[in-house]
Structure 1
């Protein structure tokens, strides 16, 4: 599920709601940009997918039956999962132009959130998000490691240098994240286009030498593979699925490029190039003398090239894997930002790396957590083959969840008749479920890692959401109505010049910071604004709908700023639009008052003690509202309060 942020284009009128991208950015230009940003993950799968199917944990005999069967499985997997499920069906399910699991869950929640099964949809989406973090750790490790391993094809004596070189490249990749992807992103599309053309040409050469491989287009070869091998063929699906890893990125990144350009890129360029390479690998192996196959199969991707061109191919593939890893890391930043806005992750320090593109962000905590995890993965697993055992479970798990959510989408949102929806749903449950089940035997040999990461992330996400709700409920229970407070306070405190803005998480009641301020300081500013920032379950809110203002009289105002979950919550910028709130805001005459809660043990806790402790730890370590809302540092006052949940 990758969400790369290298290009973010504001939607205008176009091909359906939220999918147009203006006249200046042509469909072709957007399609080219998508090649550089979106398709790196699935584009680098030929480095290891075909090889792992034969040499993985459950190895296959290298003969015509299995070569044709595997190539046929790859072709039909790419057709069913990527082309039909993601590109043709799920890309129609946009949330105001945005795609991805969280965007889909937000859209489904608007339709079934009030039903007794709505919470299941939310939990499925949260778990898919949790699995994504495991995927975002493994993808850079396996991609870069598999590319650098090509050095051993050029010179077997270079094998001891593979891991050190891979680690240097990966550390460098994470260290440059704080500089943003704008500069590097300009090189993405040309490099990836050269890479895709190169692998297509290599594949075409070998297909021309052995055109019989094209018979694998017939699904009968895949069926024959299953008839002959049964259980072993089923387990082989766990490696075949590596050919479609990154399919979820097409859906997640739809908002950056639009449905039309993404489809043009996939059907018109990326899919043909990938298929030519996979069929070329099959053609090359099938034409070899049996005595040579074992050696060549150690790295069929690099052995497709003449010896003189293998080193340039290693360099090109390394650049491509670097780009694929960049896209996944950017996606981790983006999905974390969405989860923060939707209330599943505590506030984290977020830096915007571009003055013009709001989607380009950098989250230091996520970056360094991923870097440490990737380093440990490379050192712990030691090779791309070992990492392949850990890779499939997270991807197939997320895909299977997407399929379940798609079933809800067909019935609850699109209102398909059950006799149309059921066959479509069952087809993809069967396909994605089979791939997920085929990866379960990998759990002892490495598949446990993304599952452990997923369970930990799921626990943290749900604990934060639950604790945050309990804390808000407790604060609401004891909150004093603002109308009552305004009338009683106007004559009981000295009014001083200036504006005081009290940040409040709820739109009702008096913030604890305001109560503490009047209790201890005995003063009220001439203008008192109780400000709430609300995040809608849509990606963006138009500026015309940003502000909501209620004049409570006697210099008191309640104001609400509305943002989408993909937008930056810049409070000072939002205040510029609030002229109806007693006039313009002068930042030098405005003070921001924030509440910082400290949790106390409760006699009747709303959740288990261990989760309450986790929530308290997350609360202590979350970024302050001052950082998150981009408040001026010299105009902020924090007042503490204690809460029992």
Structure 2
């Protein structure tokens, strides 16, 4: 990979550099987009509650139960309930409120957030040292996919397990039945993705608002069981618990982290809703509801413990969330929980689609077939390959882990790893983009990093219990990214060795003009200053030159969107040749014919679609044991190239207007 901030994305299948998509540092002065412009903050807040907080909002289903379960082997005492609850509340305060809501939401890339947006922002600031930010961004993206297969599995399974708390229903809804229901819901969820969710997305906000109001009210009702539970806001309970429980305390801390899973969504979805709606949603509804529910679960557990000490049934760790509800309301609560977990899963799936689109635009993954599922919302996209990969992963998890308690051990590592990477990228941003002094940047970031590392270390202890799953998924995705980037670099280096300056070719053709044919030829290239390989092959084999020739390069700006007015940079070389650089944000999909104005009117428009041909370089890859990558890695790279989506789809070029020319390249 180049040490500069420019990365190339090969657009034609079969070559890694024949058409360009480079991060464009000349685009730093482009105006920011304002998500939600024209919509009131209130409506955007409703939408944010339905999308941003789905994952973290369903954590009460299992987080307190799993954290308390780590201490239950030798029995549970009141101090352990208080300690676990204090850890959970302070995790919400420090990790979500302070780190994400108050600090990291300031580190946006022209309104967009998330690990790849941060990486793009850091790369622009680092210049030639941008490889560090690129590696961190790629690692964070790889870890996200591990999280993306666990969230739907764990949340939906936890909701369905609530059926067993209905009086007299435990025998009917045994473990196998619950698992079958979970699998059915998940399959239906992934099948509906190809149809799009725009028509039901408007219901997400109201349903999630009802969910948060319900869990908050449920918790408030049970706080009366033990009003002294409010003392857990004193952090001494958390500190004493960790100090007095050694390794068990670290295992419990790893489970406590389940309370903050989904915090990354707060920054990742900034571009859809903006910062104020997300902050309003958190402080006005989500955080109060979560805090009340956890306090209610803790008070309920304390009351149950006291009852057992006074001759009641023996205390056991239970499904505290559902048991808090009266028996008559438990079934409706389970239905509402199921709806909330489906919405949370939908948010993660949509996030995986969006992250993959960004990774393709930034050159980290091969082109994948992408389909817009809504004419009104650009963010409504569907990637079949990612959809089926996630479905396979979630079905495998549900089948193998069987219960939410077993699966919970696998959850935290991917999320904590992503948080560590996000914090490291935040340091690069505040140090090099905000131009903070090194002492100030370290003093601000180090406490967050230490907190993340503590949680990461606590979750690493659970690798054997299931934490290896997201690590394996992340490792596989990371290796695919590495192979793709390295293979593209080899092909790009070959093309650079074979290229000649475009200016020299133009001068030579002016002196000895070849046979001319009518129409316009559009040549896609990585470097607009070098003669495209397809142009050289056309001259060499067909010995003709079109009346009008456009040398087109596509670049990805280090920002989410590029205004239409700044899309194209046109340079006229002579009457025969014109270079055009099209710039796209990493959240946009290229539309080369539309932005070249094929069939339109105006300066660079007026290209007759019936007289315009698109030339794309397609090189044949050949593995070589003595050069480049090992043969087995060559074959993986060639497999990725063969299965990349057709460039005509990716660039929206009419298939009947494309000619592909190339040669053999050794990788």
> Relative to structure 1, is the Cα distance of residues 583 and 225 closer, same or farther in structure 2, using a 3 angstrom cutoff?
closer
Distance 2:71 2:229 in 1: 25
Equivalent residue for 2:151?
A: 139
Pairing 1:78-227 to 2, within 5 Å after superposition = 78-115=92-129, 118-154=130-166, 155-157=169-171, 158-159=173-174, 160-227=176-243
Q: Do structure 1's residue 387 and structure 2's residue 407 form an aligned pair?
A: yes
Give the TM-score, by structure 2 length. 0.90
Distance 2:458 2:50 in 1: 31
> Relative to structure 1, is the Cα distance of residues 644 and 435 closer, same or farther in structure 2, using a 3 angstrom cutoff?
same
Equivalent residue for 2:40?
A: 26
Aligned equivalent of 2:378, options 338, 358, 378: 358
Aligned equivalent of 2:455, options 435, 445, 450: 435
Q: Do structure 1's residue 507 and structure 2's residue 525 form an aligned pair?
A: no
- Bigger mean CA deviation after superposition, 423-432 or 84-93: 423-432
Pairing 1:227-306 to 2, within 5 Å after superposition = 227-288=243-304, 289-290=307-308, 297-306=317-326
Question: What do you get for the CA RMSD once the two structures are aligned?
Answer: 2.0
SS of residue paired to 1:271: helix
Aligned equivalent of 1:537, options 558, 572, 594: 558
Asked if the contact 1:49–1:242 (Cα under 8 Å) also holds between the matched residues in 2, the reply is: yes
- Bigger mean CA deviation after superposition, 55-64 or 383-392: 55-64
Return the offset for 1:21: 4.6
> Relative to structure 1, is the Cα distance of residues 57 and 629 closer, same or farther in structure 2, using a 3 angstrom cutoff?
farther
Aligned equivalent of 2:594, options 573, 595, 611: 573
Equivalent residue for 2:54?
A: 40
SS of residue paired to 2:572: strand
> Relative to structure 1, is the Cα distance of residues 57 and 280 closer, same or farther in structure 2, using a 3 angstrom cutoff?
closer
Distance 1:379 1:603 in 2: 41
Return the offset for 1:276: 0.4
Q: Do structure 1's residue 323 and structure 2's residue 343 form an aligned pair?
A: yes
Asked if the contact 1:19–1:259 (Cα under 8 Å) also holds between the matched residues in 2, the reply is: no
Asked if the contact 2:33–2:561 (Cα under 8 Å) also holds between the matched residues in 1, the reply is: no
Equivalent residue for 2:327?
A: 307
Return the offset for 1:579: 6.1
> Relative to structure 1, is the Cα distance of residues 510 and 516 closer, same or farther in structure 2, using a 3 angstrom cutoff?
same
Equivalent residue for 1:4?
A: none
Equivalent residue for 2:86?
A: 72
Asked if the contact 1:285–1:293 (Cα under 8 Å) also holds between the matched residues in 2, the reply is: no
> Relative to structure 1, is the Cα distance of residues 418 and 214 closer, same or farther in structure 2, using a 3 angstrom cutoff?
same
SS of residue paired to 1:390: coil
Q: Which string of whole-angstrom CA distances, capped at 9 and with x for unpartnered residues, describes residues 263-301 of structure 1?
A: 111111100001100000000010112376877732111
Q: Which string of whole-angstrom CA distances, capped at 9 and with x for unpartnered residues, describes residues 410-442 of structure 1?
A: 322223344433333221122111110001121
Asked if the contact 2:522–2:551 (Cα under 8 Å) also holds between the matched residues in 1, the reply is: yes
Equivalent residue for 2:361?
A: 341
- Bigger mean CA deviation after superposition, 334-343 or 510-519: 510-519
Distance 2:60 2:74 in 1: 18
Distance 2:613 2:268 in 1: 39
Q: What stretches of structure 1 move > 4 A for 4+ residues in a row?
A: 17-23, 56-60, 291-296, 577-583
Equivalent residue for 2:13?
A: none
> Relative to structure 1, is the Cα distance of residues 180 and 220 closer, same or farther in structure 2, using a 3 angstrom cutoff?
same
Return the offset for 1:493: 3.0
The higher-RCO structure (CA 8 Å, 6+ apart) is 2
Equivalent residue for 2:567?
A: 546
SS of residue paired to 1:643: strand
Q: Do structure 1's residue 474 and structure 2's residue 501 form an aligned pair?
A: no
Distance 2:296 2:70 in 1: 20
> Relative to structure 1, is the Cα distance of residues 46 and 197 closer, same or farther in structure 2, using a 3 angstrom cutoff?
same
Equivalent residue for 2:430?
A: 410
Where structure 1 has 5 or more consecutive residues not aligned to the other structure, the ranges are 1-16
Q: Which string of whole-angstrom CA distances, capped at 9 and with x for unpartnered residues, describes residues 80-139 of structure 1?
A: 100011111110001111001111111111111323xx4222212211110000000111
Asked if the contact 1:549–1:581 (Cα under 8 Å) also holds between the matched residues in 2, the reply is: no
> Relative to structure 1, is the Cα distance of residues 294 and 237 closer, same or farther in structure 2, using a 3 angstrom cutoff?
farther
Where structure 2 has 5 or more consecutive residues not aligned to the other structure, the ranges are 1-30
Give the TM-score, by structure 1 length. 0.93
Q: Which string of whole-angstrom CA distances, capped at 9 and with x for unpartnered residues, describes residues 142-161 of structure 1?
A: 01111111111111111131
Q: Do structure 1's residue 462 and structure 2's residue 482 form an aligned pair?
A: yes
Return the offset for 1:397: 0.8
Asked if the contact 2:251–2:462 (Cα under 8 Å) also holds between the matched residues in 1, the reply is: no
